[in-house]
Amino acid sequence: MRNLARRSVSFAVLVFALAGAHRGGQAVGQAVVGNGYVPPLPIAAAPGQLLTIYVQDMGANLTAPAEAQSVPLPTSVAGISVKFEQTVGPSPIESPVVSAFPLVSCWNGPDWCAHFIGINLQVPYEMRVSGLTAGGVAPNYAKLTVAQNGASTATVALNPFTDQIHIVRYDDSLMGFAAAGGSSSPYAPPLAPVVTHADGAPVTAQNPAQPGETVVIYAVGVGFGLARMQDLQLPEPQTGAAPLSPMTGPGLAPIFDFRPNASPSESLLSRGGPFWGYSGPVAESWAVAGYPGLYQINLTIPMPPSTAAPCGAQASAVSVQSNLTINLAGFASFDGAPICVALPAQAATR
């Protein structure tokens, strides 16, 4: 996910300290809560987003991943719950919990290596970006409070955005990599985006997308999207729930970039596009049946330009790892999926 305001280059994940926590009978005290070149707080989030947070010195008895076993999602998993609060809109709301999993800060290291748990949760769709007051438009302030067995332990602030697009990667926290401690896909390199052919097979360099083919991308954090901004009659999703069959979801602006190894493009706002009333192409998207907060975006691959380089070739002394980056842009965020597309001379019937 790439947030317009902070230019973040990672999914909205934060490591934050457990205030007043104890480890080995001694107080933890101050702790490093994150790293990078921009402040890690508050966490940028969108309505309905699946989010991963990490809490230090919690869940000492959690030795294996614990997952929700039913939909609608529960508000507690392995005794871990998360309360959502905001200054505009309904509050408080118990955030649905997808899973909780144990982590250590260094494998097979000394006994001072910190213990963490990761929590996959859903930000309520009821979160507002802003609200109308007698004095005009007021910003919304929101926070998450994590509790273990009902005892509140750690709080972190959220920065509400209309969208915080994150294309799911095979090895990110939502795919179970952090919980499993290894790669979650035998088909793709680390952090490869989840992009598949219509039959579900991953799009790879060995099995590239074909021009004219419709591929499927999976994403979270799309908020209410472009389509909902244009058509308020679309069904509104329910927090923690998932449709029994695919349901029309928010739309996103597709941007195809055939430069080799291209980085994701900017959001609509940063590209000079209109914030409201977007009239460009909207990628078809669907809420995935049975999976709260997860969306699939169906995109037809355009014909590559004559200047496109095949994957595996050398372009400017650099190996071409991808020759098309499919960008999905919203109002406040964007993300991109670099993939391989067969060029006309290479295209073959699958």
* Same structural domain, 172 and 310: yes
At a CB cut-off of 8 Å and minimum separation 6, what does 200 contact?
none
Short-list 278, 225, 267, 271, CA closest to 6: 267
pLDDT of residue 37: 84
According to DSSP, residue 173 is labeled G
pLDDT of residue 277: 54
* Same structural domain, 21 and 141: yes
| β-strands 22-23, 66-67 pairing | unpaired
* Same structural domain, 189 and 222: yes
Task: Mark which of 160, 177, 200 sits at the end of a domain.
Answer: 160
Task: Mark which of 114, 135, 160 sits at the end of a domain.
Answer: 160
3-state secondary structure of 98: strand
**Cα 323 from Cα 299, distance rounded (Å):** 16
Number of domains the chain contains: 2
Q: Token pair of 316, please?
A: 């400017």
* Same structural domain, 147 and 171: no
**Cα 58 from Cα 54, distance rounded (Å):** 9
Q: Is the dihedral of CA 61, 63, 65, 70 positive or negative?
A: negative
According to DSSP, residue 175 is labeled G
Which pTM does this prediction carry? Answer: 0.84
Print the domain residue range for 277: 164-350
**Cα 331 from Cα 162, distance rounded (Å):** 7
96 neighbors 81 (Cβ within 8 angstroms): no
pLDDT of residue 157: 95
* Same structural domain, 57 and 104: yes
* Same structural domain, 39 and 102: yes
Residue type, 59: G
pLDDT of residue 215: 97
* Same structural domain, 114 and 259: no
* Same structural domain, 212 and 303: yes
**Cα 38 from Cα 36, distance rounded (Å):** 6
* Same structural domain, 26 and 45: yes
Task: Mark which of 160, 188, 206 sits at the end of a domain.
Answer: 160
Q: What is the pLDDT of residues 240-271, one digit of tens each?
A: 999 888 887 777 889 899 999 999 987 665 55
* Same structural domain, 180 and 308: yes
Region of residue 87 (phi > 0: left; psi between -120 and 50: alpha; otherwise: beta): alpha
* Same structural domain, 152 and 196: no
pLDDT of residue 72: 96
pLDDT of residue 151: 86
293 neighbors 220 (Cβ within 8 angstroms): yes
* Same structural domain, 174 and 248: yes
| β-strands 151-160, 43-45 pairing | parallel
Residues lower than pLDDT 70 in the chain: 1-31, 33, 131-136, 176-188, 225-234, 267-279, 346-350
